[in-house]
């Protein structure tokens, strides 16, 4: 059964499907969801999109240097990557750790995609103490062991619920079918009062959109419960100033497409609310910076040395600060739960 057939079946049975479930099915359905569908290339120049670790190993160097900067006395560490894809980021960080004489006690990849699990096993299976898990609740280490948790473009893949503000209430956005056309519709939500209380620091006006991911809330809560000593860092699309508009993106073959233009082979993502993320990590202190600032701070030699035209292109891709360039629209968020 195709992704579209599964979505249509849910709508037929329940008259609607919310945005969170629509995105989760589209991205992660076991056989035909975007991240599980078999194809030669999913990420990279020949895939549907490209990520910073695919562009250059300088990204992994910056993440490793950030860890060392925040943990100057660390001599041993467990590595945990969230949503590693092709595995380039962990490969680069592992190489950097070895160069800094930091002992890597174990490597764990949290991966839901069977497609990517095959690639990761091929890349890392010969490494001692390597494992792949599908759920953060499967990860257990001694409470005094330091865990380096890192990711790139991980949280943006989580489904979000969307709500529209009208007449002092939030109405949830659903997808339905009328006359064989997929349409968006609004319904009153029993969550309206909870949402107003939870987001009381924002001033909403009629027509404004709120995006909220209970899945991210639950995931970060589980991470905090399961890992007693961690340094967490991630880079992702996101914002610190709430736009109050839909941030849902649909990509296919390196191109943005309209919602419902295609159903198969589409990567859906949302921009990450970094202020919300900060609240989820409280009472731990957190830091947010642009990806451009992050890479320039933690990989300075890359920018100080004379470079070729090819390296200049890599610099601009990773750290460009013009509108819609990765250095500006991507943010780095980091936090730790120990002194």
Tens of pLDDT, residue by residue over 197-249, are 999 999 999 999 999 999 999 999 999 999 999 999 999 999 999 989 999 99
User: Residue 115: which domain range?
Assistant: 52-155+214-242+255-336
- Residue 73 CB-density burial (10 A; 0-12 exposed, 13-18 middle, 19+ buried): exposed
The order of strands in the sheet holding 255-256 is: 255-256, 249-252, 267-269
Model pLDDT, residue 53:
73
**In terms of Cα–Cα distance, which of 321, 121, 139, 156 is closest to 248?**
156
User: How far are the Cα atoms of 95, 118, 229 from residue 136, in angstroms, in the given order?
Assistant: 25, 19, 15
Given pLDDT bands bounded at 50, 70 and 90, which one contains residue 310? Answer: low
* pLDDT top residue among 119 and 313: 119
With a cut of 60, say whether residue 47 has pLDDT above it: no
Examine residue 168 and state whether it is found in any structural domain, yes or no. no
Regarding beta strands 17-18 and 169-178, do their DSSP bridges make them parallel or antiparallel, or are they unpaired? antiparallel
Token pair of 280, please? Answer: 């989820």
**In terms of Cα–Cα distance, which of 124, 132, 136 is closest to 95?**
124
Examine residue 119 and state whether it is found in any structural domain, yes or no. yes
Examine residue 9 and state whether it is found in any structural domain, yes or no. no
Q: Where are the alpha helices (DSSP H) in the chain?
A: 3-14, 19-28, 52-55, 58-70, 88-99, 114-124, 192-198, 214-226, 274-280, 291-298, 300-304, 309-319, 326-329
pLDDT tens column, 247-271: 999 988 878 999 999 999 899 999 9
Tell me what the mean pLDDT of segment 307-336 comes to: 71
With a cut of 60, say whether residue 88 has pLDDT above it: yes
Examine residue 19 and state whether it is found in any structural domain, yes or no. no
With a cut of 60, say whether residue 306 has pLDDT above it: no
Tell me what the mean pLDDT of segment 81-99 comes to: 94
Handedness of CA 71, 72, 76, 78 (dihedral sign): positive
CA 44/CA 46 separation, integer angstroms: 5
CATH number at residue 93: 3.40.50.12710
Examine residue 105 and state whether it is found in any structural domain, yes or no. yes
Given pLDDT bands bounded at 50, 70 and 90, which one contains residue 311? Answer: low
Examine residue 101 and state whether it is found in any structural domain, yes or no. yes
Share of the chain above pLDDT 90, in %: 74
Model pLDDT, residue 329:
84
Examine residue 189 and state whether it is found in any structural domain, yes or no. no
Model pLDDT, residue 203:
95
Q: Three-state DSSP class for 224?
A: helix
151: Cβ contacts below 8 Å, ≥ 6 apart:
81, 82, 83, 84, 233, 234, 235, 236
Model pLDDT, residue 309:
55
Examine residue 43 and state whether it is found in any structural domain, yes or no. no
Model pLDDT, residue 252:
87
With a cut of 60, say whether residue 48 has pLDDT above it: no
Share of the chain above pLDDT 70, in %: 89
With a cut of 70, say whether residue 314 has pLDDT above it: no
Number of domains in the chain: 1
With a cut of 60, say whether residue 71 has pLDDT above it: yes
User: What average pLDDT does the chain have?
Assistant: 90
């Amino acid at each position: 059964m195709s992704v579209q057939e599964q979505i249509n079946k849910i709508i037929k049975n329940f008259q609607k499907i919310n945005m969170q479930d629509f995105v989760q099915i589209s991205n992660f359905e076991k056989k035909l969801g975007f991240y599980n569908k078999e194809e030669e290339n999913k990420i990279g120049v020949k895939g549907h999109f490209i990520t910073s670790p695919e562009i250059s190993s300088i990204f992994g160097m910056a993440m490793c240097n950030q860890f060392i900067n925040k943990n100057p006395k660390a001599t041993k560490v467990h590595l945990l990557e969230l949503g590693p894809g092709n595995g380039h980021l962990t490969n680069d960080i592992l190489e950097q750790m070895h160069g800094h004489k930091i002992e890597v006690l174990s490597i764990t990849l949290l991966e839901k995609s069977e497609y990517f699990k095959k690639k990761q096993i091929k890349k890392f299976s010969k490494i001692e103490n390597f494992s792949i898990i599908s759920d953060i609740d499967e990860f257990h280490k001694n409470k005094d062991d330091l865990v380096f948790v890192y990711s790139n473009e991980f949280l943006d893949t989580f489904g979000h619920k969307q709500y529209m503000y009208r007449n002092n209430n939030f109405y949830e956005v659903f997808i339905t079918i009328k006359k064989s056309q997929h349409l968006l519709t609004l319904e009153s939500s029993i969550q309206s009062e909870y949402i107003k209380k939870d987001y009381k620091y924002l001033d909403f006006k009629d027509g404004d959109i709120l995006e909220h991911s209970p899945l991210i809330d639950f995931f970060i809560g589980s991470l905090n419960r399961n890992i007693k000593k961690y340094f967490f860092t991630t880079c992702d699309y996101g914002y610190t100033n709430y736009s109050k508009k839909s941030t849902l993106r649909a990509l296919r073959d390196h191109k943005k497409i309209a919602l419902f233009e295609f159903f198969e082979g589409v990567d859906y993502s949302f921009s990450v609310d970094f202020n919300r993320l900060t609240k989820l990590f409280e009472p731990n202190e957190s830091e947010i910076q642009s990806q451009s600032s992050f890479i320039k701070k933690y990989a300075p030699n890359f920018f100080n040395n004379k470079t070729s035209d090819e390296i200049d292109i890599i610099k601009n891709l990773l750290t460009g600060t013009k509108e819609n360039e990765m250095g500006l629209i991507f943010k780095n968020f980091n936090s730790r739960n120990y002194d």
